[in-house]
Structure 1
Amino acid sequence: MENYYILRLGKELRRNLKLFRDSLYKQHGNPSLLALEACIILGPADKKEALPFVDCPHLPLSTHSVASYQYGHLHLPIPDTPFTKIREQLGTNFPYDGIYLGEMETTFPVDPIMIKDVSLAILTIQREGDLITWNVFSEKHLDSGRHH
């Protein structure tokens, strides 16, 4: 089982990204596009009951206009390393800043996506052969106007 701190995107953006990933799946048939929710992975997490207080990254954020494949993940890159402080506060790290889409090795142009709303959460991933199950828990909304 793997646990990751993630920034969960707002409900409408998650729904739109699901439709986008569904269309990619229809074109390419790569099941990883349907395996996990689109989110921003901050890094490995110890499974804890309560999330720590952290500062929200400065919102809104915008993605680049090209999807990127790095470190085994297809993602929508977010420029200027906006998650350095929150990763330091969580004591974690991850090799890229972006919205996880899947594990398909490709790149393509996309319209930049604006991120206006995020929640800190823990994503648990269980892999058994080809079966991947996941769960998001301990979600806490982050307000970009507030600092702790």
Structure 2
Amino acid sequence: MENYYILRLGKELRRNLKLFRDSLYKQYGNPSLLALEACIILGPADKQEALPFVDCPHLPLSTLGAASYQSGHLHLPVPGTPFTKIREQLETDYPYDGIYLGEMETTFPVEPIMVKDVSLAILTIQREGELITWNVSSEKHLDSGRHH
């Protein structure tokens, strides 16, 4: 079982990204496009009940105009280093800044996406052979106007 701190995207954006990933799946047939929820992975987490208080990254965030493949993941890159402070507060790290899409090795142009709403959460992934199950827990909404 793997646990990650993630920034969970707002419900409307998650829904739109699911439709986008469904269309990519129809085009490429890669099952990883359907395996996990689209989210911003912050890094490995110790499984714990209570999430720590952290500062919200400055919102809104915008992705670049192309999907990128890096460290085994297809993602929509977010330019700069907007997650450095929150990763320091969580004592974790990850090799890229962006919205996870899948594990397909490709790149393609895409309209930039605005991220206006995020929650800190824990993503638990369990792999049994080809079967991947996941769960989001301990979700806490982050307000970009407030600092803890």
Q: Secondary structure at the match of 2:48?
A: coil
1-side partners of 2:94 and 2:48: how far apart? 19
1-side partners of 2:80 and 2:129: how far apart? 36
1-side partners of 2:71 and 2:65: how far apart? 19
- The number of residues matched between the two structures is 148
2-side partners of 1:80 and 1:22: how far apart? 28
2-side partners of 1:72 and 1:54: how far apart? 28
Structure 2: stretches of 5+ with no match in the other structure: none
Report the RMSD for the aligned CA atoms in angstroms.
Answer: 0.2
TM-score (normalised: structure 2): 1.00
2-side partners of 1:115 and 1:79: how far apart? 13
Structure 1: stretches of 5+ with no match in the other structure: none
The yes-or-no answer on 1:137 pairing with 2:137 is yes
Runs of 4+ with >3 A deviation: none
1-side partners of 2:80 and 2:58: how far apart? 11
After TM superposition, give the deviation of residue 123 of structure 1 in Å: 0.1
The yes-or-no answer on 1:34 pairing with 2:16 is no
2-side partners of 1:49 and 1:70: how far apart? 31
Q: Deviation string for 1:12-46 (max 9, x for gaps)? A: 00000000000000000000000000000000000
The percent of aligned pairs where both chains have the same amino acid is 90
Match of 2:79 in 1: 79
The yes-or-no answer on 1:65 pairing with 2:65 is yes
TM-score (normalised: structure 1): 1.00
After TM superposition, give the deviation of residue 74 of structure 1 in Å: 0.0
2-side partners of 1:108 and 1:137: how far apart? 32
